[in-house]
């Protein structure tokens, strides 16, 4: 979703053009204060801010910026900019956010994979050490071997997931 914040009389037209160009739902707010309320209750991909509001409602700008979350702010002077420029700016912001999400997702997956891989290695080592203990009852050996097989299966799953990326 995209949040368009402008008191401009052509705000509805701008929202319609952005929606048509991006295929993304556009919500319109006429002030920074109402936009902050919307940001508190909904998640947005980007927030298009009319430069006019940033200059005239300076006190509310800080509050709004604190509530952006992961939304990318796009500042545009709607009094001067044409619809083509508005669409370019919004498209660019949405594409930038999508790229950043992919990068963040990959980094999180890699981090999780590395952590799990370390744990799997430690489990295998402990299973091997336990199995090397002389005089273990057969039932304990069977359970340790089952645990070792499960951990090996988990390791294979981790490696197959890593090779997909």
Q: How many structural domains compose the chain?
A: 2
Q: For residue 91, give every residue at least 6 positions away whose Cβ sits within 8 Å of its Cβ, in sequence order, or none.
A: 21, 22
32 and 54 belong to one structural domain: yes
17 and 64 belong to one structural domain: yes
CA gap 67, 54 in Å, rounded: 15
pLDDT value, residue 107:
92
Contact 54, 105 (CB under 8 A): no
60 and 137 belong to one structural domain: no
* pLDDT string in tens for the chain (165-residue length): 999 999 988 889 999 999 999 899 999 999 999 999 999 999 898 999 998 888 888 888 889 999 998 889 999 988 787 888 889 888 888 888 889 889 999 999 888 888 888 899 999 999 999 999 999 999 999 999 999 999 999 888 888 876 776
92 and 23 belong to one structural domain: yes
State which of 104, 127, 153 marks the end of a domain: 104
CA gap 140, 88 in Å, rounded: 66
pLDDT value, residue 157:
86
State which of 104, 129, 152 marks the end of a domain: 104
80 and 152 belong to one structural domain: no
State which of 87, 104, 121 marks the end of a domain: 104
27 and 82 belong to one structural domain: yes
135 and 154 belong to one structural domain: yes
Domain boundaries, position 122: 106-164
pLDDT value, residue 165:
62
67 and 127 belong to one structural domain: no
Burial 25-43 (b: 16+ CB within 10 A, else e): ebebbebbeebbebbeeee
89 and 127 belong to one structural domain: no
Q: Residue 51's domain is classified under what CATH number?
A: 3.40.50.2300
């Amino acid at each position: 979703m995209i949040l368009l914040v402008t008191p401009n009389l052509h705000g509805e037209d701008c929202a319609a053009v952005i929606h048509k160009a991006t295929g993304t739902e556009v919500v319109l707010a006429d002030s920074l204060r109402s936009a902050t309320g919307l940001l508190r209750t909904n998640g947005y991909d980007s927030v298009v801010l009319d430069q006019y509001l940033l200059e005239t409602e300076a006190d509310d700008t800080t509050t709004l910026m604190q509530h952006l979350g992961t939304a990318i702010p796009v500042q545009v002077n709607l009094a001067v900019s044409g619809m083509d420029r508005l669409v370019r700016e919004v498209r660019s912001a949405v594409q930038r956010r999508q790229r950043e999400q992919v990068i963040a997702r990959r980094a999180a997956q890699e981090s999780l994979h590395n952590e799990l891989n370390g744990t799997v290695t430690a489990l295998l080592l402990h299973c091997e050490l336990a199995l090397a203990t002389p005089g273990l009852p057969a039932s304990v050996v069977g359970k340790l071997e089952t645990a070792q097989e499960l951990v090996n299966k988990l390791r294979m799953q981790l490696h197959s997931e890593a090779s997909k990326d």
